[in-house]
Amino acid sequence: MTNIKKPHTHTASTMQRVGKKFGRWLEVGSGYIDEDNIGHVFLDRLPIGGFTGYVRLTPKGKPLPEPTPQRPGEDEEFEEG
Q: Specify the higher pLDDT residue, 69 or 7.
A: 7
81 or 53: which leads in pLDDT: 53
| Full 3-state SS string of the chain | CCCCCCCCCEEEEEEEEECCCEEEEEEEEEEEECCCCCEEEEECCCCCCCECCCCEEEECCCCCCCCCCCCCCCCCCCCCC
pLDDT > 90: percent of the chain: 19
What are 23-62's pLDDT values in tens digits? 888 899 999 998 888 889 999 998 887 787 888 888 888 8
User: pTM for this structure?
Assistant: 0.65
Give the domain ranges of the chain: 10-59
